[in-house]
């Protein structure tokens, strides 16, 4: 072997090791960023560190922990990261023999992380996604950089090319990691501020007789099952200590409130069903909860609304806007700046720390989450997020009803069949619900009890069916005397109409 040849080999070995180390780092970063975006509890590296802590015998760990104090976890996380980069370097070197050998090192590390994750009590299949993304990053970066590391016609050019690539990937990884940390940090600090809050709110008691039907969605929808609609790719993380709301525009006195000032005011609590204008007939973009907050009418009264104002334009922390008629905010209904949902501070996804709730209007014209600004104005002076995209300026909820039992396409026993679901006409109230099987006459449903006009109502009944296929239809009549039209309208521009129907088979 000539001396020159030996130099080239040394150079390319160094490059392969560097390529592998950079690949290792890229995988760690990608898995960390995905963990933050998915709001998973811990990164794969953290999970491995936790398992190491759990499995280390006390005789060894205790003196160590005494030595490093409460920094044991961060130190271990850093150690695992360094180990991954070092093993990545080994993987890079092994690609000189065969590319597969390099990949095997990464797969072995992934297998360890997978086993560590599965042994954790909060394991879900979903929590494997960050790890899978990290493995893909490892593979792609390793193949790319080891490819670039191969000797080129001139030594100078190939050196420059390799260093540019390796440096570029490293810089990108560090920038992404820093960005990801920022996003994740905001979320974590908002979450912990939320956990520490003790609000003077109640959980709300489901009124006797409201939950009558069995097999339906529950009358009170738990926060974890509540539908979610918004334009936010990343949920805004707003710390209550940084939250302010400004009430301004056509008012005598501008108001500015901090979170403690808001929750120190008289709180109002109520059952309100909110729903999305995009809910198709029979759809599930609707939910009922016990909301606690401050009545907007009181705030507007204090600010002194100028005559002639007809709208309140709301802006959220993330720049989303909507407009609500002042009349709906001041006519005595429970329109509020809500701070709690079913007795706990709003979940981040549902607008923490403060959102609007207005009975009787679709969410896109009233239910601003992460709200920070209320401008008293007139409808002719502004347009809002969804009105700019073809939806109506005004969005009163349309009277609707939905079949939940039996399920679409299910099989039941011929004879008496229980039928049930929900109907709603927020702030108008449901008067009657009727259902009909096949071409038979309409039958009156039994209605659950409701505390006010602003919630959905459970309906139920019985139909007699012989064996064969059947169609069930439902329609509601509200307290204004309006019976749902059978005419089907699309959700655009101001909400769907039509009767919900399902087919089922009896044997």
Residues that bind ligand MTE (CB under 6 A): 226-231, 276, 316, 318, 320, 350, 363-364, 367-370
Cα–Cα nearest to 289, from 213, 364, 231, 346: 346
Identify which of residues 363 and 421 has a Cβ nearer to ligand MTE in the complex.
363
Question: How far apart are the C-alpha atoms of 122 and 128, rounded to whole Å?
Answer: 12
Q: How far is the CB of 148 from ligand MTE (least distance, A)?
A: 44
Which listed option, ligand MTE, Mo ion, none, makes contact with residue 367 (CB within 5 to 8 Å by class)?
ligand MTE
Question: How far apart are the C-alpha atoms of 364 and 259, rounded to whole Å?
Answer: 24
Q: Is 364 in the site for Mo ion (CB under 5 A)?
A: yes
Which listed option, ligand MTE, Mo ion, none, makes contact with residue 369 (CB within 5 to 8 Å by class)?
ligand MTE
Identify which of residues 162 and 364 has a Cβ nearer to Mo ion in the complex.
364
Residue identified by tokens 């390799």 is 162
Question: How far apart are the C-alpha atoms of 119 and 111, rounded to whole Å?
Answer: 12
Q: Is 20 in the site for Mo ion (CB under 5 A)?
A: no
Q: How far is the CB of 87 from Mo ion (least distance, A)?
A: 48
Q: How far is the CB of 456 from ligand MTE (least distance, A)?
A: 14
Q: Is 291 in the site for Mo ion (CB under 5 A)?
A: no
Question: How far apart are the C-alpha atoms of 434 and 186, rounded to whole Å?
Answer: 49
Q: How far is the CB of 363 from ligand MTE (least distance, A)?
A: 3
Question: How far apart are the C-alpha atoms of 88 and 440, rounded to whole Å?
Answer: 72
Instruction: Write the burial class of residue 413 (CB in 10 Å: 0-12 exposed, 13-18 middle, 19+ buried).
Output: exposed
Which listed option, Mo ion, ligand MTE, none, makes contact with residue 231 (CB within 5 to 8 Å by class)?
ligand MTE
Are 135 and 106 spatial neighbours (Cβ–Cβ below 8 Å)? yes
* DSSP assignment of 409-431: T-EE-SEEEEEEEEEE-TTT-EE
SS3 category, 376: strand
Q: Is 276 in the site for Mo ion (CB under 5 A)?
A: yes
Residue identified by tokens 């307290």 is 479
Identify which of residues 77 and 372 has a Cβ nearer to ligand MTE in the complex.
372
Which listed option, Mo ion, ligand MTE, none, makes contact with residue 368 (CB within 5 to 8 Å by class)?
ligand MTE
Query: Can you read off the two tokens belonging to residue 455?
Result: 């919630």
In terms of DSSP bridges, do strands 468-478 and 500-506 run parallel, antiparallel, or are they unpaired? antiparallel
Q: Is 495 in the site for Mo ion (CB under 5 A)?
A: no
Identify which of residues 350 and 398 has a Cβ nearer to ligand MTE in the complex.
350
Q: Is 229 in the site for Mo ion (CB under 5 A)?
A: yes
Identify which of residues 129 and 229 has a Cβ nearer to Mo ion in the complex.
229
Cα–Cα nearest to 461, from 505, 411, 409, 401: 401
Q: How far is the CB of 392 from ligand MTE (least distance, A)?
A: 13
Which listed option, Mo ion, ligand MTE, none, makes contact with residue 114 (CB within 5 to 8 Å by class)?
none
Window contacting Mo ion (CB under 5 A); options: 128-136, 222-230, 251-259, 314-322: 222-230
Residue identified by tokens 């080994």 is 90
Cα–Cα nearest to 422, from 228, 224, 210, 227: 210
Query: Can you read off the two tokens belonging to residue 258?
Result: 């901090």
Which listed option, Mo ion, ligand MTE, none, makes contact with residue 482 (CB within 5 to 8 Å by class)?
none
* DSSP assignment of 326-351: HHHHHSSS--EEEEEETTEEPPGGGT
Question: How far apart are the C-alpha atoms of 494 and 392, rounded to whole Å?
Answer: 6
Identify which of residues 231 and 485 has a Cβ nearer to ligand MTE in the complex.
231
Query: Can you read off the two tokens belonging to residue 337?
Result: 């700046």
Identify which of residues 369 and 470 has a Cβ nearer to ligand MTE in the complex.
369
Which residue's Cβ has the minimum distance to Mo ion? 276
Q: How far is the CB of 370 from ligand MTE (least distance, A)?
A: 5
Which listed option, Mo ion, ligand MTE, none, makes contact with residue 315 (CB within 5 to 8 Å by class)?
none
Q: How far is the CB of 277 from Mo ion (least distance, A)?
A: 5
Interface with Mo ion by CB under 5 A: which residues?
229, 276, 363-364
């Amino acid at each position: 072997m000539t001396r020159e040849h030996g130099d080239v080999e040394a150079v390319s070995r160094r490059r392969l090791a560097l390529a592998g180390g950079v690949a290792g780092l890229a995988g760690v970063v990608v898995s960390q960023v995905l963990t933050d975006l998915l709001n998973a509890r811990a990164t794969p590296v953290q999970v491995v560190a936790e398992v190491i802590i759990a499995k280390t015998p006390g005789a060894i760990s205790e003196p160590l922990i005494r030595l490093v104090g409460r920094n044991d976890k961060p130190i271990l996380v850093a150690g695992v990261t360094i180990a991954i980069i070092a093993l990545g370097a080994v993987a890079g070197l092994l690609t000189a023999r065969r590319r597969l050998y390099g990949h095997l090192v990464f797969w072995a590390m992934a297998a360890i992380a997978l086993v560590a994750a599965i042994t954790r009590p909060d394991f879900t299949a979903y929590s494997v996604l960050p790890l899978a993304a990290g493995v893909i990053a490892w593979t792609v970066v390793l193949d790319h950089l080891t490819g670039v590391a191969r000797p080129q016609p001139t030594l100078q050019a190939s050196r420059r090319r390799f260093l540019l690539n390796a440096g570029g990937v490293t810089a990108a990884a560090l920038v992404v990691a820093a960005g990801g940390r920022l996003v994740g940090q905001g979320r974590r600090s908002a979450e912990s501020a939320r956990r520490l809050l003790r609000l003077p709110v109640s959980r709300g008691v489901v009124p006797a007789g409201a939950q009558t039907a069995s097999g339906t969605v529950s009358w009170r929808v738990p926060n974890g099952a509540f539908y979610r609609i918004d334009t936010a790719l990343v949920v805004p993380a707003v710390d209550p200590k940084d939250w302010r709301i400004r009430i301004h525009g056509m008012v005598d006195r501008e108001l500015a409130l901090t979170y403690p000032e808001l929750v120190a005011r008289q709180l109002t609590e109520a059952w309100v069903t909110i729903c999305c204008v995009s809910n198709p007939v029979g759809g599930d973009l609707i939910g009922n909860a016990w909301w606690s907050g401050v009545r907007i009418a009181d705030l507007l009264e204090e600010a002194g609304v100028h005559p002639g104002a007809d709208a309140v334009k709301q802006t959220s922390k993330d720049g989303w806007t909507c407009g609500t008629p002042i009349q709906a905010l001041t006519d005595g209904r429970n329109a509020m700046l809500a701070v709690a949902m079913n007795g706990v501070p709003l979940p981040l996804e549902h607008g923490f720390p403060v959102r609007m709730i207005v009975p009787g209007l679709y969410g896109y014209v009233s239910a601003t989450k992460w709200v920070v600004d209320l401008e008293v104005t007139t409808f002719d002076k502004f347009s809002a997020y969804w009105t700019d995209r073809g939806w109506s300026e005004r969005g009163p909820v349309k009277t609707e009803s939905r079949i939940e039992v039996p399920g679409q396409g299910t099989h039941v026993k011929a004879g008496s069949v229980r039928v049930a679901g929900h109907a709603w006409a927020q702030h108008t109230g449901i008067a009657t619900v009727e259902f009909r099987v096949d071409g038979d006459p309409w039958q009156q449903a039994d209605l659950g009890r409701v505390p006010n006009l602003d919630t959905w109502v459970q309906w139920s009944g019985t139909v007699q069916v012989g064996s064969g296929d059947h169609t069930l239809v439902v329609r509601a009549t509200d307290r204004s005397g309006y019976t749902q039209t059978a005419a089907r309208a699309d959700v655009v521009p101001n909400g769907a109409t039509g009767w919900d129907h399902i087919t089922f088979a009896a044997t």
